[in-house]
Amino acid sequence: MSVLEARAVTKRFGGLTAVKDVDLVVNEGEILGLIGPNGAGKTTFFNCLTGMETPTAGDVTYKGAPLPKRPDLITKAGVARTFQNIRLFNNMTALENVIVGRHTRTKAGVFAAVGRGPRYHREERESEQTARDLLTFVGLGRVGDELAKSLPYGDQRRLEIARALATDPGLLLLDEPTAGMNPNETAAAIDLVKGVQARGIAVVLIEHDMRFVFGLCDRVAVLVQGQKLLEGSPSEVQSDDRVIAAYLGKPTEAETAGDKQ
């Protein structure tokens, strides 16, 4: 069963085609790695999936239904994400950041907030409990009351994941979750992503750390210059010459040329 199906997604910025005809299927419960050299269009592809950019062409379905256009509706539908350059609500506490993630799953409006009936209190309690559980889940149980921006880098990345999880996603998109982490933190991140998978959430992650990708992912897709070069099991991808060539920046003449046609 597939969770997400992207078909022929294309994004052009003026003359530059950042993403070109990319098809991608994400299966239920899997961890899919998305790799590719700098500027390959990985982040742009994520942006197209999450409504941050409008794709020039192509369509995306989530659990069989077309994905809405607006970011908030996409999140509500069940696709959550993190950002390559961490984007937390810096002047809110870690706990508040995660509670904000509950926004789409809660209801209280202005009148409820001013009136504060029993239902309001119940909902607030539930949001807070969920948020605390998630903080514990990502290993930040002790820092809930700290401001997001005062957390160390690695913690900020994990907080972003907790915030995304708070939206009850069916699919989580992680943009370079280990960037800037030390080896210990990276090791912990592996467990974290596996934990997310264990919750029945499919994961797509962009990464440059190959050991991380090949050690963790069920499948790996390679994006080069906006196009999907290939897709397969970690061992298939690892042993493919074209991938190495793409990373070294020197296409092995005829091979890649032939592949493009």
Binding site for ligand ATP (CB under 6 A): 13, 16, 18, 36, 38-44, 84
According to CB under 8 A, which residues from 150 to 189 bind another protein?
163-164, 167
Cβ atoms of 34 and 45 closer than 8 Å: yes
Q: Least separation, in Å, of the C-beta of 81 and ligand ATP? A: 13
Is 14 a binder of another protein (CB under 8 A)? no
Cβ atoms of 231 and 19 closer than 8 Å: no
| Separation CA 68–CA 250 (nearest Å) | 39
Is 178 a binder of Mg ion (CB under 5 A)? no
CA–CA distance from 57 to each of 5, 21, 34 (Å)? Answer: 14, 8, 20
C-beta of 84 vs 104, nearer to Mg ion = 84
Which pairs with CB-CB distance under 8 Å and at least 24 residues apart come from 235-238? 237/35, 238/210, 238/214
For 107-120, letters b (16+ CB in 10 Å) and e give ebeeebeeeeeeeb
Q: Least separation, in Å, of the C-beta of 208 and ligand ATP? A: 6
Per partner kind, with CB cut-offs from 5 to 8 A, the member of another protein, Mg ion, ligand ATP, none near residue 90 is another protein
Per partner kind, with CB cut-offs from 5 to 8 A, the member of another protein, ligand ATP, Mg ion, none near residue 44 is ligand ATP
Q: Backbone dihedral region of 156: left (phi > 0), alpha (psi from -120 to 50 degrees) or beta?
A: alpha
| Binding flags for Mg ion, 6-45, as an x/- string (CB under 5 A) | -------------------------------------x--
| Separation CA 134–CA 140 (nearest Å) | 8
Residue with tokens 């499919």: 202
Region from 81-89, 156-164, 189-197, 211-219 binding Mg ion, contact rule CB under 5 A: 81-89
According to CB under 8 A, which residues from 51 to 70 bind another protein?
51-52, 70
Kindly state the number of chain residues that form the binding site for Mg ion, as judged by CB under 5 A: 2
Residue with tokens 């809660």: 106
C-beta of 44 vs 156, nearer to ligand ATP = 44
| Binding flags for another protein, 90-129, as an x/- string (CB under 8 A) | xxx---x--xxxxxx-x-xxx-xxx-x---x--xx--x--
Residue with tokens 């290939």: 230
C-beta of 42 vs 228, nearer to ligand ATP = 42
Is 50 a binder of another protein (CB under 8 A)? yes
| Separation CA 252–CA 245 (nearest Å) | 6
Q: Least separation, in Å, of the C-beta of 227 and ligand ATP? A: 12
Q: Least separation, in Å, of the C-beta of 233 and Mg ion? A: 24
Is 84 a binder of Mg ion (CB under 5 A)? yes
CA–CA distance from 246 to each of 39, 206, 219, 251 (Å)? Answer: 12, 16, 19, 6
C-beta of 98 vs 189, nearer to ligand ATP = 189
